[in-house]
Amino acid sequence: MDVLKHASIPLLAFLALSKNPSLISIIILVFGSIFPDFDVFFKEHRSYFHSLLLLAPLFTVSLYVQNIYLRLFVFGIGIHLFLDFFSGVIPFLYPLRKKGFGLKVLGVVAFESLPRISVKYEILVGYPSKSRGSYVGFSNDSLAITLIALIVLLIRLNILSI
Ligand SMILES: [Zn+2]
């Protein structure tokens, strides 16, 4: 998943849930939501910063420290890992164990005659990829999602009204 989706999707969720979003809160959330991919600057991408060995201690500290900015940062990291889980593999225990897992939903079938839904899925297994040392690049649909997020942001910050 690219940087624009990683920034826009948590931003949209935060803007939908927050009663009074501030600019500093938004900046910290977005920074947290793209932070894990800074591990592209290590030898392997989806490595140290995509591990629960980073997220779990941060999450625990955020429960005890009454700091909204720390919680937003951790929330951003958590959403990043959640999104990556559906678009590849996450090495949950990196560097102790490099093998990662992901989920690929192949299709959902709803049967009309029975109140039943069938979900076809595949568990992905893989390893961190060799880092290419860059974190730029996005798709056209990511740009569209980002533009929607920016419009919602301008509206929520009362810069734009509808
Ligand atoms: Zn990532």
Encode pLDDT of 79-128 as tens digits.
Answer: 999 999 999 999 999 999 999 999 999 998 887 777 788 889 999 999 88
Give the pLDDT band (50/70/90) at residue 1: confident
Contact 62, 47 (CB under 8 A): no
- Give the domain range for residue 121: 3-156
Confidence of residue 132 (pLDDT cuts 50, 70, 90): confident
- Give residues with Cβ within 8 angstroms of 111, minimum separation 6: 117, 118
| pLDDT of residue 51 exceeding 90 | yes
> Could you tell me if residue 101 is inside a domain?
yes
pLDDT value of residue 136: 65
Q: Which pLDDT does position 133 carry in this prediction?
A: 61
Measure the CA–CA gap between 128 and 45, rounded to whole angstroms.
6
Name residues with Cβ closer than 5 Å to ligand 1, which is an ion. 36-37, 84
Residues 6+ away with beta carbon under 8 Å from 83: 1, 5, 6, 9
Confidence band, pLDDT 50/70/90 cuts, at residue 130: confident
> Please, are residues 141 and 149 in contact by the beta-carbon 8 Å criterion?
no
User: How many structural domains are present in the chain?
Assistant: 1
Place of tokens 């009204």: 161
Q: At what angle do helices 140-156 and 3-17 cross, to 10 degrees?
A: 30
In a domain? residue 162? no
23 CA → ligand 1 middle, Å: 24
